[in-house]
Structure 1
Amino acid sequence: MLGTRLPETRDMSLPAASPRQVIRNYASVLKHREGMGYICAVAASFAGLFAFVTASPFLYLDYFGLSPSTYPLVFGVNVVVIALSNRVNIYLLRKRTPQQNLRLGLLIQLIAALGLVAATALDIATLAIVVPLVMLFTGMIGLITPNAISSLLDHFGHISATATALLGAFSLLAARSRE
């Protein structure tokens, strides 16, 4: 349905990219240090998110002994925090750059991850400590992903499909490797 209703955005008077040009486009993104930093930031965040999604039933139900009726509520709060951080991102963008918000999200995510590691290493990982740290970690996807994409496209607006395809591929590969 959408294919029949949405207009083509590519200038149809221009020829389609040759296979050689497509390879050059991918290579230009892959060789761009800053662009790959944005891609890796999103990929690492998604890897952490999917590691949590995969491990959360064991962590919450078996390890912490949550009831099956409570688990969806504790798990679902993470989705709410992601949505809220996305709204906070929109608000912060009035006075801050996407790179500043991205760095903020990465810093908070790093602090949350270090807190989880410390709680585990010190054997003080309780539900009251783990749940807020996990919510902080996962919630930062709402700050990291949109700002990383925006920053990436600042460099590759002319080949935006290539850049976002690589970002998506790296994110899914990183997430898949954590399952």
Structure 2
Amino acid sequence: MSNIRTLGTLAVLLGFASISTDLFLPALPTMAEALGAGPGQMELVVSTYLAGFGFGQLLWGPISDRFGRRGPILLGVAVFALGSAGCALATAPWQIILWRIVQALGASAGVALARAMIRDLYERDRAAKILSGLMTVMAVAPLVGPSLGAAILKVAPWQAIFWLLVGFGLATLVAVMALPESLAPDKRTKGALSGAFRDYALHLTNRGLMTRAGALGFYYLGVFAGIAGAPFAYITHHGLSPQAYALVFGSGIVGLMAANMLNARLVTTLGAERMLRIGTLGAAVTGLAFAAVTATDWQGVAGLVAVNLGFTAMNGLIAANAVAGALASVKHAAGSASAVVGALQYGGGMAGAALVAALADGTPWPMGLVVALGGCGSLLCAWAAGRQVT
């Protein structure tokens, strides 16, 4: 039972990025109107969050290598709850952008260090299998998040969504208190904390780590381009209601869950490396299809749903295998290595959301273009990673 509880808590921590983003996506147009902001400005609420989330991991990783995983996670979750409360109290676009960065800095601890804990406990293919299983569970968050957010909007103002995240953060804090420490004192980085940060120099020259992290980063460039652009593509361009958009958004998550289950079944047989190459090839193909559909408006909403489902599903074959392969290429300082992976993953997401905002022209085309770039970049990195011996 304690192992199930531990894995459940890790799944929640891994889902922090989705939980804190997907829940309020249906409210973006409403928030833009209430705060007097344009669509491009509100999309920055997504991209700045990703900036804080990605680079915040660079802080937490070395701290956890020096002091252990559990304490930094507790502090991070508390900061997440504080940032969520600040978002709920915001009265201007710049305020909510600022508090989203605080929220992201806290949430980043959970994701980076949950992955490091799995690396502490399991070898590569087994870690990929565990990550796939946990990601299948945490996929419930983006599946129900937009629907829950849309339901809240029907009975309460948009601020209620962020108050719900405050409560979620506090509940997670209680769960983390029961989480066992995975990094024994004799395996921690010795000496001053500055020494732990110097591990980044070694990680950045580790080609096995960087190519696999790059595959994940490019893929997430496409993922978050779709996340940032989807509310305006479906609701503003195609005229769907927030409730209908939530259902459409959830369809892509069904594909992701199916791919995660497939990966968990096959990865110990075929290996994480081969599954990563299959997933990135799928991302490139579906990404190019995404661009074609948004350029021509082929089949309207149905066409957009189809290509989104295909591209999103590839997450199940890419994320767990890229993370497991990247972390297996390091012999020590798994916390800072996990932070590098996370920084590239969500830094790519930040770039994707920012590109969609910068290229916004009132149509879904910029979103499709950036998704295609992400899929093709991911394939190139996976090809380079496959040429490395780990």
Q: 1:118 to 1:8 in 2, by over 3 A?
A: closer
The correspondence of residues 12-91 of structure 1 with structure 2, limited to 5 A, is 12=186, 16-19=190-193, 21-91=195-265
Verify the 8 A CA contact 1:47 1:174 in the aligned structure 2.
Answer: yes
From 143, 151, 160, give the equivalent of 2:325: 151
Q: CA RMSD in A?
A: 2.2
SS in 1 for 2:190: coil
Q: What is the total number of aligned residue pairs between the two structures?
A: 179
Q: What 5-or-longer segments of structure 1 have no aligned partner?
A: none
1 or 2 for the larger relative contact order (CA 8 Å, sep ≥6)?
A: 1
- Give the corresponding residue for 1:176: 350
Give 1:117's aligned amino acid. Answer: A
After superposing the two structures, state which structure 1 stretch, 153-162 or 100-109, moved more.
Answer: 153-162
Verify the 8 A CA contact 2:252 2:305 in the aligned structure 1.
Answer: no
Verify the 8 A CA contact 1:116 1:125 in the aligned structure 2.
Answer: no
SS in 2 for 1:128: helix
Distance 1:17 1:73 in 2: 52
Distance 1:112 1:74 in 2: 17
Q: What 5-or-longer segments of structure 2 have no aligned partner?
A: 1-173, 354-390
From 285, 293, 296, give the equivalent of 1:119: 293
Give 2:252's aligned amino acid. Answer: N
- Give the corresponding residue for 1:7: 181
Give the CA deviation at 1:139.
1.7
Q: Is the aligned partner of 1:108 residue 2:282?
A: yes
Distance 2:315 2:239 in 1: 27
Question: After TM superposition, where is structure 1 displaced by more than 6 Å over at least 4 residues in a row?
Answer: none
Distance 1:77 1:117 in 2: 19
Give the CA deviation at 1:15.
6.1
Give the CA deviation at 1:13.
8.0
Distance 2:181 2:300 in 1: 53
Give the CA deviation at 1:69.
2.7
From 255, 264, 269, give the equivalent of 1:95: 269
Q: 1:120 to 1:53 in 2, by over 3 A?
A: closer
SS in 2 for 1:131: helix
Distance 2:189 2:338 in 1: 21
Give 2:222's aligned amino acid. Answer: G
Give the CA deviation at 1:79.
2.1
SS in 2 for 1:108: helix
Verify the 8 A CA contact 2:235 2:241 in the aligned structure 1.
Answer: yes
Verify the 8 A CA contact 2:189 2:333 in the aligned structure 1.
Answer: no
After superposing the two structures, state which structure 1 stretch, 141-150 or 57-66, moved more.
Answer: 57-66
Q: 1:105 to 1:15 in 2, by over 3 A?
A: closer
Distance 1:157 1:131 in 2: 42
Give 1:95's aligned amino acid. Answer: T
The normalised TM-score by structure 1 is 0.87
Distance 1:167 1:128 in 2: 34
Give the CA deviation at 1:39.
0.8
Give 1:35's aligned amino acid. Answer: L
Q: Give per-residue Cα distances to partners, 1:25-70, cap 9 Å, x unaligned.
A: 2111111222111111111222222111111111111222223331
Give the CA deviation at 1:87.
0.8
Give 1:143's aligned amino acid. Answer: L
The structure whose residues are more often helix, as a share, is: 2
